[in-house]
Amino acid sequence: MTLDEVLTSLFPAGHSIARDGGLLTGSAQLGGTRVDVIGVAERLPFGIDEALALASQVLATIERGGATPILVLVDSDSQRMSKRDELLGLNEGLSHLAKCLMHAELAGHRTIGLLYGHTAAGAFIATALATRTLLALPGAEPEVMDLPSMSRVTKLPIDVLEAMARSTPVFAPGLDNLVKMGAVDAVLDPARALDAQVGEWLARPVDRGDTRAARGRPVAADVARRVEALARAAR
């Protein structure tokens, strides 16, 4: 779905969402509830300026009080790989945005991410992955790290990583694998109105528990126990 189609399906009664150089900010009514909207569009490379701009919107929502939900729409590139962004503290800017979203959730503002396009790496982590509930549309292309990048970091051949990806979703990018790991809570049906589907998630009680261990992480618990045992033995 295009951004216009997503917005029309989410907010059939209209909205006041502004687009500025690939950034989305504004508000709308979703099923009778006001939601504040931030986001990234047009596969925008996500830099320090964008991170701070969206973080300021989140802080403004918190400052107004109440329990206004925050909807984060995402179609981005990865973080912007420029010398300027790095020198200005891109890592801190991305972390600041993620912490603002988490703070908003703890302050009573439901945070819901909606992946409708591409996203990767730091841009993904600081926006969609920082929300309490993450939804996606079919065809979304999220990846924390692609296999060539994993190969460079781990020094493992790509064919070895591809073999691992077939049995362990943590090694494979893509929407299906993020669903298996529990990072994406649900894939929405584009044939149905998005306002009703997102509204259903907004209406659900907040579950503070982490149930992802029962999904796509078959060896994580054993690894965690071994790491804990090694740490205790080293004391």
Residue 189 maps to which CATH number? 3.90.226.10
Task: For the chain of 235 residues, list the mean pLDDT of each consecutive stretch of 10.
Answer: 93 92 94 94 93 97 95 92 91 96 95 93 92 93 80 87 77 77 89 94 75 61 88 86
Segments forming the whole domain that contains residue 137? 3-233
Note whether 215 and 177 are within 8 A (CB).
Answer: no
3-state percent breakdown (helix, strand, coil) of the chain, nearest 5: 45, 25, 30
User: Which runs of E-coded beta strand occur in the chain?
Assistant: 15-20, 23-30, 33-46, 70-79, 111-115, 118-120, 133-136, 141-143, 186-187
Give me the pLDDT at residue 216, please.
53
**If DSSP codes are grouped into helix, strand and coil, which group holds residue 162?**
helix
The model carries a pTM of 0.83
Count of domains observed in the chain: 1
Note whether 67 and 35 are within 8 A (CB).
Answer: no
Give me the pLDDT at residue 97, please.
97
Phi, psi of 148 (to 5 degrees): -60, -40
